[in-house]
Structure 1
Amino acid sequence: MNLILKLLCGILIGILTGMFAPDVLIQGLITIQYFVSQLIKFIIPLLILFYVTSGIASLPKNSGKLLGKTISLSYMSTLGAGIFAFFTASTLFPVLLDGAGQLPEAKTALTPFLALQIPPLMNIMTALTIAFIFGLGISSTGAEHLKKASDQGRDIIELFLNKVIIPALPFYIAGVFADMTVKGTVFAAMQTFSLVLIAVISMHWVWLTLQFVTAGIAVRQSPLKLLRTMLPAYFTAVGTMSSAATVPITLQQTKRNGVSNSIANFVVPLCANIHMSGSVISVSSVAAAVIIMTGAGPIPTLLEALPFLAMLGITMVAAPGAPGGAVMASVGLLGSMLGFTEEMIALQIVLHLAQDSFGTACNVTGDGVIALLINTVADEQEKEEEELHPLNEAA
């Protein structure tokens, strides 16, 4: 909540500076914004490299078929949520945001004092490919030194995010909004924020409803009862804005829904790192809104956006643990696959972080659904083994 308040202050300061401050002060803010944007572009491939490597390398090895089924089900849920959200947003937002202000191309009215280039060490796809190769390799071979190196790299990136990038975001946002104010487009953009936020949170609840109806049918219980049991986890996540901090409550409520201790203890911590349906809903729907708000061109069709959504579901593995991790992990894909400019990325960050706690709440509440379905699969496997056991003894 402190971060959200600081971002709101950054927006306000940016608007007031753009309206009343002399050009030299506005250029100062734009210079800070430019430098921070260069740091963000530089750090994103490293974030993906170390977080994804560490995440994959940390997956439990001796969990057999249930591990594969949990990962597959989590990814299907995450991808399905992205497809649902992008289709809904691309259909709804052109009507909902009709008349929204259109921002010009990413050419600032005032230039920064110093345009210092900080090229990243690698592009997003290279970082993701290396992360998968080493993550899977470490998991298979048990390479302790590489595992330790990836964990330490992740910790260093997280420290850099906490100490440098996150504190600098209000100044970055202030520079962007000062620039937008000078251009005369800021108020047209601001008037659509509340509509987008309400629509995104509504999508979270529609997806949760679909998930719990599916789980209710699978376990032959009332979806409403199952959802009501998971609400403490939902509201804890809204308050903490952290999947990891909510794991104890998610575990407790998942077990109260009838999931066995062993399945809950395995699935819930794993899904806290790989099941990101709420975050993907937020990123994909906000991306559609930003395209409309900035007049960047037509929204991609669902078929055109599918590669982006598929990669987003994988890249979200880098989101847990990083402050504002979901939107930070998606920045590279937004720029490389959807062609987002600096102003578009700034709007994406502001809109996403304003409802980030609700996306996290959707993630952890949906973890309870994954656990219910995996528990059902495990029960069926156990029954099959029991039925085969007498036959094996007879043979």
Structure 2
Amino acid sequence: MKKNSILNSLPFRLLLALVIGIAVGLFLNKNDTGAVSVALLNIIVTVKYIVGQFIGFCIPLIIIGFIAPSITRLGSNASRILIVALIIAYVSSIGAAFFATASGFLILPHMSLAPEVEGLKELPQLVFQLSIPAIMPVMSALFFSVMVGLAAAWNRSELITGVLEEFQKVVLSIVTRFVIPVLPVLIGTTFATLAYEGSITKQLPVFLVIIIMVMIGHYIWLALLYLIAGAYAGANPLDILKHYGPAYMTAVGTMSSAATLSVALECAKKSEPTLRDDMVNFGIPLFANIHLCGSVMTETFFVMVVSKMLYGEFPSPAKMILFCLLLGVFAIGAPGVPGGTVMASLGLITGVLMFDETGTALMLTIFALQDSFGTACNVTGDGALTLILTGYAKKNKIEPQKLGNILE
């Protein structure tokens, strides 16, 4: 069963598609004169275009489906502790994003990331074009989600809230039944075209180095979070960290904050009295869905790498600041499932940074290849934020209470 679950996992399918795509692309690169090879290349280019159009069409739906219901849920249950939890989760996420941005501007210019344009083969024209325009622009979908979500929460509109909840279920079905199954097709065709052009052999090894750098960034950010939390709460953060090993390893295996929740709760409860029981019962499940500092850091660093590799330049500082601030919002609305962060923020990648389908495919691939470590960082960081909640409750003399009372 364990073997089958690995073979059926999204990262394995993406990795398999990547390998097959590179193999096919390299073969076509060396045998591009035959009629069969030309026809196959035409099909690959066309399929890549159509799948890219389909995913682009789904992006506004994903934004509305993920963001708006999340805002209504938070707004309808707003309380002092909940607001504090929301603020520290957002600050942690955008802090990780800005840390990755600063590190990228300091480190990446010294690496060989320039696109190799000399000697590349040209791709053939599309066999036919199937244009699938999105129902609205990305930024329109974002502002629509925010305004409708806030208005529904302020007016306590049960009808609109129910509709948004149902729409989120519909969007999740679209993602799981349509978008995710076609992702390997997009990945395979993208890497086949890159391999045919001749650039993949020089680009792929760099990603391995980047992944190691991002993992080091995770550990630095976790250390910073726990130091800040310990100083604020007046507690030893090692009393929490020493129990988080099982949660970290579970997250590496499941690549899902939601799937790791039970183990994370068990680890956090072992940290009593450093972590208050009511804050654990409230904070750990909440942060599992809204605190994605590791995933945000990873995505931010990778977009800078991909931008330099494919388009020859880094995004401007202004674009990166906007990207980081909005990515924190998208992270709060992202589902705690494998690849949830990058799926929820595809609109930012295409709308703010102007990535095309090739850039999007590269982001999805390299994000999936290390998603387990980003999730592990998310889960472990939840303990630090729960320590901050515990310190806040003590400083404000909030008596221990049951979960239901916390939300009142």
For residues 180-214 of structure 1, give each alpha carbon's deviation from its aligned partner in whole angstroms, at most 9, with x where no partner exists. Answer: 12211111111212101111111111101111111
User: Structure 1 residues 383 and 331, CA, compared in 2 at 3 Å: closer, same or farther?
Assistant: closer
Where does residue 287 of structure 2 map in the other structure? 271
1:48–1:128 contact (8 Å) kept in structure 2: yes
Query: After superposition, where does 1:119-268 map in structure 2 within 5 Å?
Result: 119-257=133-271, 258-268=274-284
The separation in 2 between residues aligned to 1:173 and 1:221, in whole angstroms, is 46
Paired AA for residue 208 in structure 2: S
Q: 1:50 to 1:115 in 2, by over 3 A?
A: same
- Which segments of 5 or more consecutive residues in structure 1 lack a partner in the other structure? 385-395
User: One-letter code of the match for 1:286?
Assistant: F
2:402 aligned partner: none
| 8 Å contact from structure 1 (residues 274, 316) kept in 2 | yes
Give 1:287's aligned residue. 303
Q: Structure 2: any 5+ residue segments left out of the alignment?
A: 1-5, 29-36, 400-408
- Residue 331 of structure 1 and its aligned partner are, at CA, apart by 2.0
Question: Which deviates more, 21-30 or 204-213?
Answer: 21-30
Shift of 1:285: 0.4
Alpha-carbon distance in 2 for matches of 1:338, 1:369 = 31
Contact 1:100–1:189 (Cα < 8 Å) also in 2: no
Letter aligned with residue 25 of structure 1 = L
What is the rounded CA distance, in whole Å, between the counterparts of 1:156 and 1:149 in structure 2? 10
Per-residue Cα deviation, 1:151-197 (whole angstroms, up to 9, x for no partner): 21111111111111111111111111111122111111112121011
After TM superposition, the structure 1 stretch with the greater mean CA deviation from structure 2, 174-183 or 12-21, is: 12-21
Aligned partners of 2:349 and 2:170: how far apart in 1?
Answer: 24
Counterpart amino acid of 2:124? L
Relative to structure 1, is the Cα distance of residues 354 and 383 closer, same or farther in structure 2, using a 3 angstrom cutoff?
closer
The one-letter code sitting in structure 2 at the alignment partner of 1:10 is: A
Q: How does 1:11-30 map to 2 (within 5 A)?
A: 11-21=18-28, 22-30=37-45
User: Is 1:309 aligned to 2:316, yes or no?
Assistant: no
Q: Does 1:330 align with 2:345?
A: yes
8 Å CA contact 2:15–2:369 kept in 1: the answer is no
Does the Cα contact within 8 Å between 2:71 and 2:150 map onto a contact in 1? yes
The one-letter code of the counterpart of 2:91 is M
Under a length normalisation based on structure 1, what TM-score does the superposition of the two structures give? 0.90
Cα pair distance change 1:108/1:36, threshold 3 Å: farther
Q: Compare 268-277 and 37-46 and name the one that shifted more.
A: 268-277
Out of 75, 99, 104, the residue aligned to residue 89 of structure 1 is 104
1:320 aligns with 2:342: no
Shift of 1:225: 3.3
CA distance in 1, matches of 2:345, 2:165: 21
CA RMSD of aligned residues (A): 2.2
The TM-score normalised by the length of structure 2 is 0.87
Relative to structure 2, which stretch is displaced further, 248-257 or 198-207?
Answer: 248-257
Out of 216-225 and 181-190, give the one that drifted further.
Answer: 216-225
Shift of 1:63: 5.1
| 1:302, distance to aligned residue in structure 2 (A) | 4.0
How many equivalent pairs are there?
381
Partner of 1:4: 11
CA 1:61–1:154: 2 relative to 1, 3 Å: closer
Call closer, same or farther: CA 1:141–1:103 in 2, change over 3 Å: farther
Equivalent position to 1:374, from 376, 389, 392 = 389
